[in-house]
Structure 1
Amino acid sequence: MLTDKFLRLQSVFFRLLGLELLHEPDAGHRYPWRSICCILSVASFLPLTIGFGLQNIQNVEQLTDSLCSVLVDLLALCKIGVFLWLYKDFRFLIRQFYCVLQRETHCLAGELIVTRESRRDQFISAIYAHCFITAGLSACLMSPLAMLISYQRTGEFQPDFPFPSVYPWDNKKLPNYLISYVWNVSAALGVALPTVCVDTLFCFLSHNLSALFQIARHKMMHFEGRNAAETRENLRHVFQLYELCLQLGHSLNEYFRPLIFAQFVAASLHLCVLCYQLSANILQPALLFYAAFTAAIVGQVSIYCFCGSSVHSECQLFGQAIYESSWLHLLQENPLLVSSLKIAMMRSSLGCPIDGYFFAANRETLIRIVRSAISYVTLLRSLA
C-alpha cells in the first residue's frame, strides 16, 4: 500500500489554490475563483511595479528592486498559466503515477523504496515551502515595522510597502495606504501559492519516478525464477516497468520543460539582482529579507536541478543493475534474452534527461547559474 505521505503536502497547497489533484474529474476545479483571484492579484499588481521601475530608471538600487519583483510576478504567472493550460494532462500523469506505485508497493522492497522517496520528497518540499513563505512574510511585515520605526523617530507618517510600486492616489492618507498595503499582500500571496504548488509538484513527481527506477533495478537484480518460464515472465515485467518509467519521464519532461526554461532564465537574473541588493544593504534591516529571498530562489533552482539529476542518474543505473544481475546462465538457456539485456543496457546509457530546452536540469547547470549571477553583480556595482 502507498504511504500516507503520498502527495500529502502538495494536496494541501493545491486545495488552497482551489484545485484537486487526485479526486474525480468533476471535482477538479472545486473552487476555481481562488485560482482566478491569484492570477488577477498578480497581473493587476505587475503594472504598478513596472511603473515604479520606469519612474526610477536612473536609480540602480530601486531599478534592480523593481526588476526583482517583476521577475517574480512573471514567473508566477507563467507557472500557474502553464499548469492550468495542462491541468488535465497533469492530473492524468499523477493518476498514472498513483496506479503504478499502488501496484509496485505490494512487494516489501517496493514499499520500502517508495516510502523512503516519499519521505524525502515531503521533507524537501516542506523546507522549500517554509523558506519561500518566510521570504514573503518577512517582506510583508518588514514595511509596517520600518514605517513604525520611522514614525517614532520623525513623528511623520511615511508610507512604506513590501514591494516597489506606484499608485494613482496619495498613500499618506491612512485609508489609501491600507488599500495599497492589502494589494501588496494579496499579490505576494498570489505569487507564493502557485509557485510553491508547481515546484513541490515537480519535486513529488521526480522523487516518485526515481523510486520506480529503483524498483526496476531491484527487480532486475532478482529476476531469477524457479524455472525458465517464470524467469522469462519476470524479465518481461521488469522491461515493461522500465519502459513505463521512461514514458512517465518523457511526459514529466514535456510538461515541465517550458517551466524549467523560464525558471532558469529568471533565476540567473534573480540571483544577480539579489546579490547586488545584499551587497548594497549590509547592516540594514532589509538584509534579512534579501537573504531569505536569495535562499528561496536558490532552493527553487536546486529542486529542479537536483531532482532532474537524480532521475537521469537512476535511469542510467538500470544498466549497471543488468550487468550485476545473474545473467550468465541465460547464455545457455535462452540467448535471445541476452540480446534483450544488451538492448536495455544501451538504452539505459542514454538516461532520462530532464531539461528546459537549452538547459539540462542537473548540478552543473546550478553551478553555472550561480557563477553567472555573481559575475553580473560586478557589472551592476560599476553602474551604481
Structure 2
Amino acid sequence: MLTDKFLRLQSVFFRLLGLELLQHQDVSHRYPRRTICCILSVASFLPLTMAFGIRNIHDVEQLTDSLCSVLVDLLALCKIGCFLWQYKDFRSLIHRFHIILQREIQWTVGQLIISKLNRRDQFVSALYSNCFVAAGLSACLMSPLSMWVSYHRSGQPQPDLPFPSVYPWDNTHILNYLISYMWNVCAALGVALPTVCVDTLFSSLTHNLSALFKISQHKMLNFKGRSPRETHENLVHVFQLYDECLDLGHSLNGYFRPLIFAQFVASSLHLCVLCYQLSANLLQPAMLFYAAFTAAILGQVSIYCFCGSSVNTESQRFGQAIYESHWTSLMEENSQLVRSLKIAMMRARRGCPIDGYFFEANRQTLVMVRIKPRK
C-alpha cells in the first residue's frame, strides 16, 4: 500500500478545483463547473485591470500596481490552461509514478525513503500554500482596513478595492461596492487555487522522483548477490529502475517546461515591480500585502529551483553510487558488466535536468546574479 502522504494535499486542492488526479478515481471531472467558474472569474477580471493600467498610464505607481495584477492573472490562466490541455497526460504520468512507487515501497528501505520524501513534500506544499493564501487574504483585507482608516480620518469612508480595476458603475453606492468587492475576491480565489494546485503538484512529483533516484542508488550500492547469476539479475533490475526514473524525469520536464518558462519570466517582472511598490508604500497598510505577495513569488520560484536541483543532483549521484559499490569483484567474473557500469557512470554525469527551455531550474538560477565584467 502506497503511503497516504502521496498527493494527499494536492488531491484536496484539485478537488476544490473540480478535478481528479489519480487514475483509479471513477470520475475524471467531478465538478467541471468549478473549473469553468475559476477560469471565468480571472478572465473576466483581467480586462478591468488592463483598463485601469491604460487609464493611469502616466502614473507610475498605479501603472506598476496594475502590471503586477495583470501578470498574476496571466500566469494563473497559463498554468490552468496548460494543465487542462495536457490533463490526460498529467494523469497518465501520475499513474506511472504510482505503479513504480507501489512496487518499490514493498522493499523496506524503499518504503522508508518514499515515506520520508513524501512527508517533506507535504510540509513544503503546506507551507507554500499557506504563504500564498496569506497573500490573498492580506489583499482582500487590505481594502476594508484602508476604508476604516479613511473613515476615522475624514469621517467618510472612501471606496477601496483589493486589486486595481475600473467598473462601469459608481462604487460609492454600497450595493455596487459589494458587487465589485465580491468580484475581486472571486478573482483572487481563481488565481490562488490553480496556482497552488500546479505548483504543489510539481513539488510532489519531483520529491517522489528524487525518492526513486535514491532507491536506485541504494540498490546500486548493494547489488552484490550470492552468485554471479543473482548479481547480474540485480544489476539488470537497478539499471531498469534508473532508466524508468530518467524516463519519468524526461516526461515531467516536457510537461512542466512551458510552465517553468512562464513562471520565471513573470516572477522576474513581479519582483521588479514589487520592489518599487514596497519602497513606495513604506509604513503604509498596503505594505503588508506587498510583503506577503513578495514572499509568495519567492516561494514559487524556490519550489521550482530547489525541486529541480534536487532531481538533477540525485540522478547524478547514481554515478557516485556505482563508484562506491563492489564493482571490483566483477572484473574477474564478468567484464561486460564492468563496461556497462562505465557507460552508466557516463550517463549519470548528465543527470536529469529540469529546465525552462533557456535555463535550468536549480539553486544557481535562484541565487546567482551574473554581472558582466567591464571591458
Structure 2 runs not aligned, ≥5 long = 371-375
1:130-141 equivalences under 5 Å are: 130-141=130-141
SS at match of 1:349: helix
CA RMSD of aligned residues (A): 1.0
Structure 2: which amino acid aligns with 1:357?
Answer: Y
**Conserved 8 A contact 2:23-2:92:** no
Which range moves more in the overlay, 146-155 or 57-66?
146-155
**Conserved 8 A contact 2:23-2:91:** no
**Conserved 8 A contact 1:217-1:318:** yes
Which deviations, in whole Å up to 9, do the C-alpha atoms of 1:240-272 show, x marking residues without a partner?
A: 000000000000000000000000000000011
Structure 1: which amino acid aligns with 2:317?
Answer: L
Specify the alignment match of 2:245 in structure 1.
245
State the distance in 1 between where 2:156 and 2:57 align: 27
SS at match of 2:328: coil
**Conserved 8 A contact 2:23-2:95:** no
State the distance in 1 between where 2:285 and 2:82 align: 36
Q: CA deviation at 1:306?
A: 0.5
Q: CA deviation at 1:28?
A: 1.1
Specify the alignment match of 1:159 in structure 2.
159
State the distance in 2 between where 1:304 and 1:157 align: 43
State the distance in 1 between where 2:256 and 2:238 align: 27
Specify the alignment match of 1:260 in structure 2.
260
Q: CA deviation at 1:2?
A: 2.1
Specify the alignment match of 2:228 in structure 1.
228
Specify the alignment match of 1:381 in structure 2.
none
Specify the alignment match of 2:30 in structure 1.
30
Specify the alignment match of 1:53 in structure 2.
53
Q: CA deviation at 1:23?
A: 4.2
Q: CA deviation at 1:330?
A: 0.4
Q: CA deviation at 1:26?
A: 5.0
**Conserved 8 A contact 1:18-1:31:** yes
Specify the alignment match of 1:380 in structure 2.
none
1:113-128 equivalences under 5 Å are: 113-128=113-128
Q: CA deviation at 1:158?
A: 1.3
Q: CA deviation at 1:25?
A: 6.4
State the distance in 1 between where 2:229 and 2:6 align: 35
State the distance in 2 between where 1:188 and 1:315 align: 38
Specify the alignment match of 1:168 in structure 2.
168
Q: CA deviation at 1:367?
A: 2.2
State the distance in 1 between where 2:264 and 2:114 align: 29
Specify the alignment match of 1:364 in structure 2.
364
SS at match of 1:284: coil
State the distance in 1 between where 2:278 and 2:155 align: 29
Q: CA deviation at 1:153?
A: 2.2
State the distance in 2 between where 1:206 and 1:19 align: 21
Q: CA deviation at 1:226?
A: 1.0
Q: CA deviation at 1:285?
A: 1.1
Provide the aligned length of Structure 1 versus Structure 2: 370
Structure 1 runs not aligned, ≥5 long = 373-384
State the distance in 2 between where 1:11 and 1:156 align: 46
Q: Does 1:108 align with 2:87?
A: no
Specify the alignment match of 2:326 in structure 1.
326
Specify the alignment match of 1:74 in structure 2.
74
State the distance in 2 between where 1:25 and 1:14 align: 13
Q: CA deviation at 1:187?
A: 0.1
Q: CA deviation at 1:157?
A: 3.1
Structure 2: which amino acid aligns with 1:29?
Answer: H
Structure 2: which amino acid aligns with 1:64?
Answer: T
Specify the alignment match of 1:379 in structure 2.
none
Which deviations, in whole Å up to 9, do the C-alpha atoms of 1:123-154 show, x marking residues without a partner?
A: 00000000000000010011012112212322
**Conserved 8 A contact 1:157-1:172:** no
Structure 2: which amino acid aligns with 1:37?
Answer: C
When normalised by structure 1's length, the TM-score is 0.95
State the distance in 1 between where 2:328 and 2:18 align: 55
